[in-house]
Amino acid sequence: MQLYNNQTLKVYNSLSGKKEIFEPINDSHIGMYVCGPTVYSNVHLGNCRTFMSFDMIFRYFRHLGYKVRYVRNITDAGHLENDADEGEDKIAKKAKLEQIEPMEVVQRYTVDFHNTLQKFNFLPPSIEPTATGHIIEQIEIIKEILEKGFAYETNGSVYFNVLKFSESNEYGKLSGRKLEDMITNTRELTAQSEKQNPQDFALWKKAEPQHIMRWPSPWGDGFPGWHLECTAMSTKYLGETFDIHGGGMDLKFPHHECEIAQAEASTGKSPVKYWMHANMLTLNGKKMSKSTGNNIYPSEIFSGDNEILSKAYTPSVVRFFMMQAHYTSILDLSDDALLASEKGYNRLMDAMGTLEKVDTDKTSSFDVDAWKQKCYDAMNDDFNTPILIANLFDAVKHINLIKERKENISQEDKNLLNNTLKTFVYDVLGLENQAIIKDDSNTLGGVMDLLIELRNQARANKDFATSDQIRDKLTDLGIQLKDGKDGTTFSIN
Ligand code: AMP
Ligand code: ZN
């Protein structure tokens, strides 16, 4: 397939540790698998960042004209508490805690996940398969691995034999870990352990009588190991070798390393051409994480209801903030950073509005073609959105000069600039024009000022029934009020 101006696209492949020229296995088609959420709690903003990075990548591929089959799974079984093979299933644990069915937990948090992603203007993946919907496929892969001699059964559980696999394959090649180091650095097995070696990992775990999520198998009632679902679903929908496998950096080991081992053991083939890993969103310099509580939820950002925030932010501002960092860089969330992003986002939206209105000339003082090429160059260099955004701001500067009549633009170039800006801003970065929300000179802004004023008067008169009614009705309409030091602000979800 030919890209714009015959350019090539480069992708950083975590497997080789290099930027490589992207050449899909089947010319204009791309198969992309991204590990989805474990749906036992609401997604935090860190989770959203990883999925947003791949949403942007999906969008850019589509813009270039590729036919992408994008598979992003839902983990609804098999993910144990400590990411290894011990502890309770995260979903079963939550179900017990809340005294509901595990599938009620799954449903609740899958709905939250979808609602959140919709607010951020994500494109839906082509297929969104679940682990529980692919138990049969997982059992088939285990049988295959057992048959090839890379796994063993102990007491109703099946474990992958890492040492045996390493005799003919390189376990650790993705994460850069050496098996010898793993052996010296891991704890000895406890006497009751069923594993032959601590590095081995579960393909199937026997369900103890109290375990609620269980399925029959040739080895008795049990449930699949966490890594197996992704091997089963990616192979089923994308084939034994496909183009891109993505996920957060923290999934490289053990999850993705184990996926490679399972696939190579069962098919004898390397499953993925390009492994891509998105970097972490941090808060106070530490990884956002469900388990440590060091996180912030999208709903808190949209309402401004969190002590670190001075105000509410719209989904597009948050998206813009994320896109200002390269997907492989760590990004730290703070109120100051969001304020700066909001300013930048507003400047960009204002300039796009201004461009529609500027007068044109016979000639242009600004080389729009060269500028457009630079936008593509940025994206073709491993999806470099911060450089793309720097180029967008270069256009903003020119638009403002044209408005002041210090520069000029032809009708043809104005159309080109307008279309290219819209393509990159809306189609590729996935931003939406939510400028209406901050513009208090518009009608909505005026109406909101009036309602906030009436609510303040009601509160001053201790008429809390009315003040609550105003806030609640607005909430029903998707408008959040946030009372801050400098008065009340609002945001629309
Ligand atoms: P989980 O639901 O825990 O399986 O995580 C879903 C996705 O979110 C995985 O791809 C993780 O790598 C990713 N993730 C978890 N924490 C963060 C974070 N702080 N920043 C970016 N991505 C994250
Ligand atoms: Zn996975």
DSSP letters of 369-433? HHHHHHHHHHHHBT--HHHHHHHHHHHHHHHHHHHTTSS--BHHHHHHHHHHHHIIIIIIS----
Ligand closest to CA 280: 1
207 within a domain of the structure (yes/no): yes
Distance of CA 70 to the CA centre of its chain: 13
Report the amino acid identity of residue 303: S
| Atom 14 in ligand 1: residue holding the nearest Cα | 47
437 within a domain of the structure (yes/no): no
* Residue 177 and residue 94 share a domain: yes
Pairing relationship of beta strands 18-21 and 10-13 according to DSSP bridges: antiparallel
Going from the Cα of 38 to the center of ligand 2, the distance in angstroms, rounded, reads 10
Ligand closest to CA 227: 2
Q: Which atom of ligand 1 is nearest to the CA of 50?
A: 22
Last residue of a domain, one of 278, 302, 324: 278
* Residue 294 and residue 212 share a domain: no
* Residue 196 and residue 287 share a domain: no
Q: Which atom of ligand 1 is nearest to the CA of 247?
A: 10
Going from the Cα of 117 to the center of ligand 1, the distance in angstroms, rounded, reads 14
Going from the Cα of 234 to the center of ligand 2, the distance in angstroms, rounded, reads 9
Longest Cα–Cα distance in the chain: 84
5 within a domain of the structure (yes/no): no
154 within a domain of the structure (yes/no): yes
* Residue 309 and residue 258 share a domain: no
C-beta separation of 163 from 197 below 8 A: yes
Going from the Cα of 190 to the center of ligand 1, the distance in angstroms, rounded, reads 30
* Residue 137 annotated as lining a ligand binding site: no
Which residues, in sequence order, are CB contacts of 352 under 8 Å at separation 6+? 418, 421, 422, 425, 433
2 within a domain of the structure (yes/no): no
Please state, in angstroms and rounded to a whole number, the distance separating the CA atoms of residues 179 and 206.
27
Coil/strand/helix, residue 135 = helix
* Residue 416 and residue 393 share a domain: yes
* Residue 391 and residue 296 share a domain: yes
* Residue 376 and residue 252 share a domain: no
* Residue 259 annotated as lining a ligand binding site: yes
pLDDT at 129: 98
CATH number assigned to the domain comprising residue 144: 3.40.50.620
Going from the Cα of 36 to the center of ligand 2, the distance in angstroms, rounded, reads 7
* Residue 48 annotated as lining a ligand binding site: no
C-beta separation of 366 from 409 below 8 A: yes
Last residue of a domain, one of 380, 398, 428: 428
Going from the Cα of 247 to the center of ligand 1, the distance in angstroms, rounded, reads 8
* Residue 403 and residue 294 share a domain: yes
- The preferred substitution site among 51, 227, 250, 281 for testing ligand 1, maximizing ligand atoms within 8 Å of CB, is 250
Asked if residue 281 has its Cβ within 6 Å of ligand 1, the reply is yes
Please state, in angstroms and rounded to a whole number, the distance separating the CA atoms of residues 241 and 155.
33
Going from the Cα of 217 to the center of ligand 2, the distance in angstroms, rounded, reads 22
Please state, in angstroms and rounded to a whole number, the distance separating the CA atoms of residues 451 and 492.
15
> Where do the H-state alpha helices sit in 245-334?
257-267, 298-303, 315-323
Rounded-to-10 torsion of CA 33, 34, 39, 44: -160
Asked if residue 246 has its Cβ within 6 Å of ligand 1, the reply is no
Asked if residue 48 has its Cβ within 6 Å of ligand 1, the reply is no
Asked if residue 288 has its Cβ within 6 Å of ligand 1, the reply is yes
263 within a domain of the structure (yes/no): yes
Please state, in angstroms and rounded to a whole number, the distance separating the CA atoms of residues 247 and 261.
17
Nearest 5°: CA angle at 135, between 141 and 46? Answer: 100
Last residue of a domain, one of 398, 428, 458: 428
Coil/strand/helix, residue 48 = helix
- Supply 5's token pair: 């101006």
Q: Which atom of ligand 1 is nearest to the CA of 35?
A: 10
Q: Structurally, how many domains does the chain consist of?
A: 3
Which residues, in sequence order, are CB contacts of 344 under 8 Å at separation 6+? 320, 324, 389, 393
Asked if residue 35 has its Cβ within 6 Å of ligand 1, the reply is yes
Lookup result for tokens 């300013």: 343
* Residue 391 and residue 313 share a domain: yes
Encode pLDDT of 123-144 as tens digits.
999 999 999 999 999 999 999 9
pLDDT at 438: 46
Ligand closest to CA 229: 2
* Residue 286 and residue 273 share a domain: no
- The preferred substitution site among 47, 94, 281 for testing ligand 1, maximizing ligand atoms within 8 Å of CB, is 47
C-beta separation of 399 from 358 below 8 A: yes
Q: How many residues does the chain have?
A: 493
Coil/strand/helix, residue 75 = strand
Ligand closest to CA 328: 1
* Residue 35 annotated as lining a ligand binding site: yes
pLDDT at 437: 47
Kindly report the number of other CB atoms within 10 A of residue 403's CB atom. Answer: 15
Asked if residue 41 has its Cβ within 6 Å of ligand 1, the reply is no
433 within a domain of the structure (yes/no): no
Which residues, in sequence order, are CB contacts of 425 under 8 Å at separation 6+? 348, 352, 392, 431
Reduced DSSP (H G I as helix, E B as strand, rest coil) percent helix, strand, coil of the chain, to 5: 45, 15, 35
* Residue 203 and residue 76 share a domain: yes
434 within a domain of the structure (yes/no): no
* Residue 211 and residue 119 share a domain: yes
In terms of Cα–Cα distance, which of 451, 446, 468 is closest to 459? 468
Which range marks the domain in which residue 162 is found?
A: 10-278
Q: State which residues of the chain have pLDDT below 70.
A: 83-84, 185-192, 435-442, 493
Q: Which atom of ligand 1 is nearest to the CA of 47?
A: 8
Asked if residue 474 has its Cβ within 6 Å of ligand 1, the reply is no
Asked if residue 251 has its Cβ within 6 Å of ligand 1, the reply is yes
Ligand closest to CA 234: 2
* Residue 258 annotated as lining a ligand binding site: no
Asked if residue 78 has its Cβ within 6 Å of ligand 1, the reply is no
CATH number assigned to the domain comprising residue 297: 1.10.730.10
